[in-house]
Structure formats: structure tokens, C-alpha cells
Structure 1
Amino acid sequence: MPVPLLLVLLGYRCLQGLPRYSQQSSLDRRWYFFSAIFIFLAMLAYPSMAFLFPALILTKLLFSNLSNWLETRCEAIQETMVFCTVGLAYFIWGYYNMRYHGRAPVTEAYQLDHPNLSILELLRRLLFLTNVFNDWWAVSPMSSQRVQGWITIVAIVGGAFWGTISFLKSNFYLQHGKQAVSWLVQVIVGVVVLLILSSGFFLLMPSLSLVQTRVLFGILSSGWVLMFWGVCRWAWIFPNTVREYMIGSVFCLFFLVQGTQANKVTMVNAISHAEYLNLDITAISNYLAKGNELRRIHFIIPKSNYPYDRFFMAHAALVKILGRGNVEVKWCSLPRGYQGEEINHQADMLACISNLSNSEIAVTYSYESDSFKATKAMLVIKNHYQEHNL
């Protein structure tokens, strides 16, 4: 995950410090090419992460001095054009490859050969994004979702209010009233455009069957930039002598809480998965201790559980019992990325099991409410990931 983020940061850094107003040399133009290469590589690594780039441009718009708007606008437009050009090239390339040269199944949410271009669906998804009480915006794992939503509203709306008051009292507005208002409107339009652009991957996804934080990384990053800006505008009500200390204290507290919660969640997840692995090891060991032949491990899980990590659990358990290099595991259920339901995939599953080599063990799954075809030398494990109390 950090690789595409580093590539995006490198791509953005390539565009900083260039002489935008003077006649550019060939060396200056090369930096646009280097930036485009880094952005394209980021999209190849993980496309949704590459949409951090508009959030970086948004940072420039929000925190630049309004009196320098002409220079800021020029830089923001050029950076946006670089990103949009690379993004368009990536989506055209992805569309062509998936439609005409597909070599492997791709999860429905990432299939670029039929992106979402419905105006009504685009508007519906934009409305979803404006709901800060939605689960998608709950980035703090142990805090109340409602509290997080209200904090977001207070930070952004309050920041906009105090930012407006600060603007009306600024020397730039008092000396250049109409021009200042015109430039402020342009900034607002630019912010809206960048917010939409940062959510571009989410808007174009063919399906919302897989909506996770990493898919929403672009718009979430832009949202946090807005919140950071709002907190800084809130600090305007404090005297200059304590303003910086207030801002620093707020963000130190935020990162302390986030770091503590992330540590607890990671610890609980690690412990719980160790428990699940031990349960699988016990079940397989007891089965083999009876002298039974093992050709298939079948998991029965609730629909709320993600099925595909059962393959890795089964493989880890078998390696623990039989030793590394003594076991080969093959996934015979519906592969990730294929359309359809597992219950309708039984014939293909049986064909996969019948073609196993002598050293291979099949791993399959079914949901609790679905039937499945039994085979010889099969171990059935019925367990599910439970929600642990943090």
C-alpha cells in the first residue's frame, strides 16, 4: 500500500518549483514527463490510491495566500491537467486490455471495461459521499460514528464561517473588494472540482460491491485536508500568541487517539486470527489422528464473512501440521473476480477436485444457508469470524 502513495508524492514533487510564467526550458518540461510516469506507475500499483494527487493540489488551493491566486491557479490547473491526462490514458489502456486481452479474472468493482457512466448513478454516489455519518467516513475504528460525523461538520462548516470572517477583515479584501471576491469564488469552484476529481475512482467503479477505505482513499484524504483547513480557520478566534499552540495541540491529540486505536484494533485482529488458526489446526489434527485421508477442507461460513482468506488459513494450518514443502493447497471454489454465486459453481468445483494431484488438497467454502456437494476424504469446518469487544 505505501508504494503507490510514495509514487504519487514523487509525481507531485516533480511539479513543484518549476518556473510557470517564464519560457520553460527542455529540462523543465522533462519534469512534467517524470511526474506523469510516477502517477501512471501509482495507478498501475493501486489505482484508487493514486487519487491522493488531487488532495495534494487541494492543499495548495486552501493554504495559499489569496493575493497570490494567479500564480496558484496557474500551478493548480497545470497539475490537474497532468493528472487528468495520465488518468485518461490509464483508463483507456485498462479498458482496451480488459476488453480485448483479458488474461485473468478481475473483481467486478475494478473492471474498467464497463465503467459507471450513468449520470443518475454518479449523482447518487456523490450524495452518498456528502453523508458524513456514513460508515465510509468512519476512519476512527473505536470512536462513535455519529460523533465523528458531527466533528467533521463542525470543523468544515465552522471553518468556512470563520474563514469568511477572516477574509472580510483582510487587507486584500478591503483594498481590492471586487477582485478579492472574484478570486474567492474561483477558489471555491476549484475546491469543488478537486473534491469531485479525488472521488473519480469511486464514481467510475462499475459496482459498489467492494467499498473499502483504500477505495475511498482519494476523497477521504481530501476530506481530511478540508478538516485540517477548518481547524486552522477555527484557530483564528484565538490570539496570535496561542493560535499555533492550539492547532498543534488539536492535531497531536488527534494522532495520539488514532495511533492508540489503530494499535488496539491491530492487536485484536492479530490475536483473533491466531485463535482461528489454532481452531483450524486442532480440527485438522484431530481428523488426521483418526487415520483419515484428507483431500478436501470445506469451510461453512456466514455471508457476513469474507471467504477467500480461508485458503490462507487452511494452508497455514497444514504447513504447521505437515511441514513446509509437504503440502500443496488448491482453491476449488468460485475464484475471486468471477461473477456468480458459489452455490451455482458446484459442477466446476467437483471437476477441480477430481483433477487434483496426489499431493494436492482442495479448499472450498459454502454459506450457512446454502447446500454443497460432499466428496470423499472431506473435512468440514464450521466457524466464522466473530466481532470482538475492543
Structure 2
Amino acid sequence: MGRCGRVGWKRKHKRVNRQIRHQKHLLEKKEKDGHNLVHGFAVDPLIIDIYDSDDGKDDDDDDDDDDDDDDNDKDNDDDDDDDDDDGDDDDDDDDDDDHEVHAARPHKGQIKVAHRMRGLLHSDTYSSEVSESHRFCNRVQDAYTLRCCPQVHGVVTDTLDFVRGILTTELNSATDNPMVFADMGEIVSGGNFHGEYPAKALDFLAIAIHELASMSERRIERLVNPALSELPAFLTAEGGLNSGFMIAHCTAASLVVVVVVVVVVVELVVLVVVKIALVVVLITIIIIIEVVVVVVVAAAVVVVVVVVVVVVVVVVVVVVVVVEILLENLFSTQYFPAATLHSHSFSVYWTD
């Protein structure tokens, strides 16, 4: 069993998975456990930690598998177009397993994996023909899946350490809400219930394991491919009816393809959704602009009509008043002394 998070239990620090398997009373339901189970405050990091506890061992095993591949695969990049490189390592002394190469790029995980590989390839108890076979030959550049193993496996190791640190802190944290501080006699509402830390840790873990699996699948292909490994096809001496490790490689390749297809489908769905959302937003904006323009134009027309009506009314009133004044002056006694004009009644009567 690999390393995993540790929790405090009865003043002792014990591994989480061991506690769960041997002390089932740890899972007895207490107050608010139903709420935690529904929201996954405590269950998510616990499950992730149990899952993560096996990854450290798997990563080391992957390094061992890479060393086994090195013993059977001693080819140049020209033998595999998928693993072609730029051809800048032309010196036999520039082997990526050399200590100085990794010291020049001292990532913790890279150095750890390189040290492990050197110990397996050059120890007294594990003899290897890789170094000797490359000493006086022209095939000095192995494929990326072999030569870049310390770099790729190294960042996976660093990622696992990062995830393990987050989950260890999460498992030993209080994620309840509200928080009850009995010593201070206070109850405080906070945000410790949010699952962003374990969620992001799980995302990082998935990315790391995917990279590790992808590299492993390529190394499996190199082992079962006689053109690259110079071994019998699918590692079986009697082909034809015997498929050897063909199904194992097909399974690994299909898993990688499934992951790629899922990622592509998700990206396409997101792209389509984003485009549809943009179109909807643009149409909505255009409709809003059109409505605003129509309202503004209608309001302007109403204002113009009102102004015209007011002007017409004023003009009519002025004309009426002017005409009335003129008529009054016209029928005044100055011009008709025998008659009196009553302007308000517009009636004329004679007086003696």
C-alpha cells in the first residue's frame, strides 16, 4: 500500500484507509453527518485520499516498467515517427539518465525518478545492457516515451505530492458550517464547507494519471511492435492463434482514445454552447436596441404631433381674436353712428 493521508485518532496519527478497514466504528453516524453526507463535505476528500493512496505505488511501478522497456527497446527516433525529436542530442554522454542532465533542471520529481531509474539500470543486483549497447553505436536517441520518462514521471510525482498535501490538510480540517468554538463559546458562520480544494486536487490528480497512462500505453505499443522492439509480435513466440499481449495493448489504447474522445466531445459541446449563448446574447441585444429605437421614434412622433397641435390651436385662437377685434372696430359707432355693435353677441340693433 502506498502513502496516503493521515488523521488524528485518539491522540495518534494513523493512515486513513487503515482506520476505515480495521476500525469500522469510525464511520458511525453522529450529529450533522447526514448533512455532510448529502453535501459531500467529508466524503469527497476521504474517497479521493483512498484513491490517491495507491497512486504512489503505481507511479513507482511505472518507472520499473519503463526500465523494462529500456532493456528491450534500443532504437533511434527514426524508427518511430510518432516519437520523433529535433535531433539535438548527438553525444553519447548526453544520456537523459546522466546525473548532470537532471541536476541542470533540478525538479524534485524529475531527480527522484531519474535516481530510481539509475539505481535499477546500473546497480550490481540488476544488470542492464542498455548503457553498453549504446556506448559504441549510432542509435543514441531513444523515443520520447523512454528518454523523457524522468521529466514526465517527475511532474506526475510532484503532482501526487501536491495533491497528497492538500488532501492530508483537508482530512485533518474542520469543514462544518457554522463552526462551533466551544473554548471561546462562539458560533461563527464561515465558508469552510466549500469543496474547491479537494475538487481542484482531484482535477490535478486526473491530469497527472492521464499523462502517466498515456506514456505507459505508448511503451506497451513499443514492446508488442516487432519493428521497434525486435521481439516477437505481441510478445508471443507462436503467433496466429495466439494473440499474446495484443488485447492488453488494445485495451490500453482504447482507454486513451476514450479519454481523448470524451475531451474532444466536451470541448465541442462547450464550443457549441458558447456560440449559441453568444448568438442568443447578440439577438437579445439587437431586439433591445430595436425596441429602444422604436420607443424613441414613437415618443418623438408623439412630441412632434403634440407640438403641431398646440401650435395650430394657438394660431387659431390668435386668428379668432384678431378677427373679433377687426369686426368690433368695423362696426363701431364711428362708422355707423346710428347703430351700436355688441361684439359679444354679434347682434346689431337700431336706436332712435
Larger relative contact order (Cα-Cα within 8 Å, sequence gap ≥ 6): 1
Higher-Rg structure is: 2
Q: Same fold (TM over 0.5)?
A: no
TM-score, normalised to structure 1, is 0.24
